[in-house]
Chain A
C-alpha cells in the first residue's frame, strides 16, 4: 500500500541520524511521501454518487399530482373578493304630461342622484346614464301616425292606464318597447288629476299615474328603480349565502308532502299530477336558468305535529303561536325523506301541507300581534315551508268499514298552492305579497302566471350569479389550500380538469355579466360552482389513505440511515486523515 507512510525501521533511523542528511526527521509529524488519495477519492465518489442519485430516488417515489393552476385560483378568488360583481343595468324614465324646465339629461342625472346606491357586492352598477324621455308629445307628432302613438297623450293615455292593470301592462310594454331595448328597466309617469297609483308590471317596467309634482315624480322613479328593480323589492337586497336554496349541483328538488296527522279521523288526498302540470311547470321553466327544478309529491299518514296547541274561544279554533314554530316539525314521525332520485348534492326543499287531526281541528297560527295568520303557514329558510290546511268541517268521519279518501277540492288546492308559491318565492329571497311599501308611497306589484315576473327573474339571476361565483371562489381557494398543505396527496387529472373548467366557466360567466346576458351568466356561474364542488368533493380527495411522508420515511430509512452514516463517517475520516498526512508531508518538505 503505497500511501501508507513507510516509516523506515528503527535501525535505519539511527542510520539517518548518523548520516545527518536530514538531521531531525520525526515520523510523528513528518513524512517524506505525498499522501495518496486513493481511499479518499473512493469514499468521496460514493458520497457524491449518493448525493447525485438522491433526486433520482425522490423522483422515483414521487406521487402523481395533476398540476393545479394555483396562481389562477388565487388571482380569481382575490378578484372576486375585491371586485364587485355587477351587471350593467339600463334605466329609462318616460314622463307624459309634465313640464320640466330641465333638459332630458339633467332630469336623468337627477334620478340617478336620488337612486340610493347601496354598498352591495352584487346587483346593478349605476354607472350608466338614465335615459329620460320628456316630451313624448313632440316625439310622437314627429313620428309616423301609428295606432299606438295615437293613444299616447297625457289624458287619454292616463285614462286607459286607469283601467285593468293587466291590459295597462301590455300597453305600457308596447310603449316602452318603442323607446328602449328589451333589457331596459323603465318607468312611465303620466300626469293626471286623480290620486297617485303606482304599479310594477310583469315585465321590466312600472307606471305611475296621477297628480304628482315633478320633484315627487323623480323621487318615486328613482325609488322604483333602486328598490324594486334592482333589489327585488325586498328590504335587504344583500345576499345571504347561507340562505341560497340551490344544491351544489345546481338543482332544487321541490318535495311536496301532504301529511294526514291522524288518518283514523279523516284521510285527504290530492290530485297533484294536475297541479304539477298546470301550475308548477311554468314556474320550473321560468327558474330554469337559476336551477334545475324537479317536483315530487307524497302523502303521509300518522304524522302528528310535535308542538302543542291550545283551544282559544275568541278565535274559535286551536291556536299555535309563533313561539311553537321551532317545534312544529316532528322529525321523528314526519319521514319526509330526501329524494333517492336526486342523489348527490341537490337541495331538497320540503313543502308540507299539514292536515290536523280531529282533536285539534281548526288549527290556526297566531301571529305575535294577536291576529291569526292569513296563510296559516310558515317557512324555515333552507328547509322549506309548512302550511296548515283545515278541512271544511271538523267533524270526524263516521267509522266506516271502507276507506274513504276525501279529495281536496280544486279550489282549495289552488288557494293552497298560492300560499305554497309564496313560500317558494320567499325561500328564494323574494317578497311573497303584491305590495311594495316604500318611503315615497306604495306600489302594487303585478304577479305573473309563471310565479316570477321578468324583473324578479333578473334579480334572482343577478343574485345567483353573484352567490355562485363567490362560493366557487371560496371552494377553489380552500381546495388549493388543502392541496398545498398536503404535499403527498394524490391528485388525479380529473380534478385538475374540473378546476380549469370551473375557472373557465367562471370567466365566461363574468364576461356574460358585463354584457348583461342574465341567463347565460347564471347558467355558466352555476356550472363553475358545480365543477368547483365536484373537484373539492372528488372521492380521491376524500380518501385518507394517501401515501404519507411518514410512510415513505419508514420504508426507506432502514436502508439509507445506516448506509449514509457509514458513507459520511468514512468520508469524514478519510478527509481528516488526508489533511493530517498532507500536513506532515508539507512539514517534511519545508524541512527539506
Chain B
C-alpha cells in the first residue's frame, strides 16, 4: 500500500514540547487574545486559553475545580505525557502570513485533523493506548479521529522527539471537515465556555467564514515530580483565525485606494464585542501585535514626514501610532529588544463589563506595505507523473529573500562550498517502507544545505499498488490523501524578546518569547488510484461458473447422445413442417458458406465453418441488439 501512506518528510523533524515553568498549586485559567494585522489586508486573531492543574495529590483526575474532567481522565487513563490535537480548515499562507514568528510556527497546521501523542507506557502498550485514545477523542470532539486507529493510518516518527523515542505516535486525517460541532466540545473544556470572556467573541459564522482557522488542543502532563520539572498538567487551547475585515471607507481617501489597509475593529470582524472577562480567569488580556517590518516601514514613513514637517515625534507611543490609530489607549506597550523591533500593545479587559464593552479598533492613516518574516525556505509539494502505475512526489524547497540575511546573521550553516554529490546534503535518512495493511510508509531526512542555496527539489518515486477490497474508503474514486510533510528548521528559532521581565507570567507573552523551532507544513496531496469495479469479484464468479456449467452440460450431453439413432429417426420420420424449413435453411447456410470458408477449414480441423457461421451469427445478432437497444 505504498500510496495511502504518510510520506512525512522532515528536515530534522522535531515536535515541540513547551513546558511552562510556573509552579502551580491551584488550578488556574488564563484567557488571552492576540490580534495582528497581516500584510494582505487580513487580520489574524489568536485566542489562547490555558488551564493548569497540579497533579501532586492523588485526587487528580477525580476532583476538579477548573480543569476539565474529561481531559484529566484521558490523561490518567491512557498515561499521556503530551498530546496535541488540531482541527484546521484552510491553508496557512506561508508567503504572506509569515513562517518565522511563533504564532505561525506553532499554530499553522495541516488541513483536517492532526493528532500526536506521547505516552508514558512501556513500548509494547503504546499502540494499544493510541488506539483507545483515538476512540475516546473521537467521542469527545465529535470527529472521526477513530479512523487513526488502524495501524496503516498513523506512524511513529523516530527523530521527531529524542526524549519520546518510540512512545510518540503521529497521525493526520486530511479530509476531515471541521465545523462547529468540533468547536462546541472544545469550548466545553473552558470553564466559561463561550458564555463570558474572550471566547464570547467566537461568533460561529465569522469563524467559519474565515480564510484559515485552526483550533488546537495541546496537553502537557508531567506526572513525576522527580524529573526536575514541576508536576502539573497544562492544557493549552488555541484558536487561530485569519479574517478579512469588512472594508470601511474611512474619512481619509487616497488616490491609491487599494494600497491602504482596511481599518477594522473587533466588532467589525467578529460582529461582537467583549462584554467583560471570564471571572474565573486569572488573567484576561488582549494584545495587538505590530510586526517588526511594519514598525520599520512606519519609522521610515515617519522620517519622510519629518523631513518636511519636523514635529515632536520621538516618544515611543507616538511613533507607534503614527501610521495608524488605535481606538483604545493600551495599558502597556512592550517593545522588542533588538533594533528593528516589534511592538506589542497590551489591554487588560478586567474593567470592562456589559455597559462598557471592549471593542479594539485600528484605523490606518497611510497606506503601508510590509511583509511578514518568512521561513528560511519556502516549501511546496506536488505530484509528478500520470497514469495508474507509478508516480512521484516532488518537494521543492526555494529560498526566500530573507534566508540569506538570516543565514549570514545567525551563522549556523556549514561551509559546503560545492557539493560533490547529493549525499553531501543528506546527513541522515530513515525510510520505513509501507507494508500492506500493517504500516504506512514514512521517510525522515535530515538535510543540510549550503547558505547560498537557491532551490532544491526532492523527488520520491512510488509505485501505485492494488489495495484489498476492504481497504478502499467509501468514496474510493476521489483518490487518496497524502498528509502534509513536516519541515522543521532546528537551527532557526521563532521567538521574540521583550524587555519587560514582569510580563513573563502571561501565557501568550511567554509563548511568544519561547524559543521554538520553526515548523512548516506542505500541501496535502490527492493521489488518484485505480479503483476497481467493486462488483468485479462477483462478475468473475458468475462468468467462471457459467463457463464451467456450459462445459459440464455439453459434456453430459455428448456422453448420452445417440448419433446413429437420431439420424435414422430423421430419415424415417417425416419431420414437422417448421422443422423441415429450419433444416432447409440450415443446409443452405451450410452449403453457401462452406465454399467461402473452404480454405480455413483445411487449415485447422478444429474451427469448423459451422462454428464460424454460428459465431458470426451471434455476433451480428448482438450488434443489431446493441444498435436497436440504444
CB within 8 Å of B: which residues of A? 1, 4, 39, 42-43, 46, 263-264, 267, 269, 272-273, 276, 295-302, 335, 337, 339-341, 343, 399, 401, 403, 554-556, 558-559, 561-563, 565-567, 570, 573-574
Contact = CB atoms under 8 A, between A and B. Distances in A.
Contacts of A399: 353
B70 A340 contact: yes
A50 B191 CA distance: 74
A566 B192 contact: no
Contact of B542 (A335, A341, A558): A558
Contacts of B611: none
Contact of A574 (B188, B538, B542, B560): B560
Interface in B455-473: none
Contacts of B188: 335
Interface in B557-581: 557, 559-560, 562, 564-565
A273 B61 CA distance: 11
30 contacts: A1-B562, A39-B560, A263-B280, A264-B196, A267-B280, A269-B65, A273-B59, A273-B63, A295-B62, A296-B69, A297-B62, A298-B65, A299-B64, A300-B191, A302-B192, A339-B69, A340-B69, A340-B136, A340-B140, A341-B73, A403-B279, A556-B545, A558-B541, A558-B542, A559-B544, A562-B546, A562-B549, A563-B549, A563-B553, A570-B560
Contacts of A300: 191
B553 A43 contact: no
B219 to A, nearest CB: 14
Nearest to A277: B59
A273 B57 contact: yes
B446 interface: no
Chain B interface residue bracket vs A = 35 or more
B350 interface: yes
Contact of A563 (B62, B542, B552): B552
A296 B553 contact: no
Contacts of B544: 559
**Residue with the highest number of chain A CB atoms closer than 10 Å, among B66, B538, B560:** B560
Contact of B282 (A403, A562, A566): A403
Contacts of A301: 191-192, 280
A299 B66 CA distance: 7
A359 B66 CA distance: 24
B564 A1 contact: yes
Contact of A276 (B63, B280, B560): B63
Contacts of B353: 399
B582 interface: no
B556 A276 contact: no
Nearest to A294: B62
A399 B354 CA distance: 13
Given A272-B63, A566-B549, 4 more contacts: A42-B559, A299-B64, A563-B549, A565-B553
A185 B290 CA distance: 81
B362 interface: no
Interface in B308-360: 350, 353
A4 B282 contact: no
Nearest to B552: A563
A272 B59 CA distance: 9
B77 interface: yes
Contact of B76 (A1, A272, A295, A341): A341
Given A558-B545, A570-B556, A339 B73 contact: yes
Contacts of B74: 340
B195 interface: yes
Q: Which 7 A-B pairs have the closest CB atoms?
A: A559-B545, A558-B545, A562-B549, A302-B195, A566-B553, A340-B73, A341-B73
Contacts of B57: 273
A566 B556 contact: yes
Contact of A558 (B59, B546, B552): B546
**Residue with the highest number of chain B CB atoms closer than 10 Å, among A4, A267, A335, A343:** A335
A39 B62 CA distance: 84
Contact of B70 (A4, A337, A570): A337
B548 interface: yes
Contacts of A39: 559-560
A301 B61 CA distance: 18
B193 interface: yes
Contacts of B350: 401
B69 A337 contact: yes
A471 B186 CA distance: 38
Interface in B224-279: 276, 279
Nearest to B137: A340
A416 B214 CA distance: 43
Nearest to A565: B553
**Residue with the highest number of chain A CB atoms closer than 10 Å, among B57, B62, B538, B544:** B62
Contacts of A4: 562, 564-565
**Residue with the highest number of chain B CB atoms closer than 10 Å, among A300, A567, A570:** A300
Contacts of A276: 59, 62-63
Contacts of A403: 279-282
Interface in B51-90: 57, 59, 61-66, 69-70, 73-74, 76-77
B560 A42 contact: yes
A43 B192 contact: no
A563 B545 CA distance: 10
A563 B548 CA distance: 9
Contacts of B542: 558
A398 to B, nearest CB: 13
Contacts of A299: 64-66
Contacts of B559: 39, 42
A297 B63 contact: yes
B549 A559 contact: yes
A337 B281 CA distance: 22
Contacts of A555: 538, 541
Interface in B437-491: none
Contacts of A567: 556
Nearest to B563: A1
A1 B565 CA distance: 9
A5 to B, nearest CB: 8
Nearest to B57: A273
A302 B196 CA distance: 8
A263 B282 CA distance: 14
A554 B538 contact: yes
Contacts of A573: 560
A41 to B, nearest CB: 11
Contacts of B556: 43, 46, 566-567, 570
Nearest to B555: A566
Contacts of B538: 554-555
Contacts of A43: 556, 560
Nearest to B60: A273
Contacts of B191: 300-301
A296 B63 contact: yes
A549 to B, nearest CB: 16
**Residue with the highest number of chain A CB atoms closer than 10 Å, among B70, B279, B538, B565:** B279
Nearest to B548: A559
Interface string B186-210: 0010011101100000000000000
Contacts of A1: 562, 564-565
A201 to B, nearest CB: 34
Contacts of B63: 272-273, 276, 296-298
A297 B64 contact: yes
Contacts of A574: 560
B214 to A, nearest CB: 24
A301 B280 CA distance: 9
Contacts of A561: 549
Interface in B494-547: 538, 541-542, 544-546
A39 B563 CA distance: 13
Contacts of A295: 62
A300 B70 CA distance: 13
A169 to B, nearest CB: 34
Contacts of A339: 69, 73
**Residue with the highest number of chain B CB atoms closer than 10 Å, among A269, A562, A573:** A562
Contacts of A273: 57, 59, 63
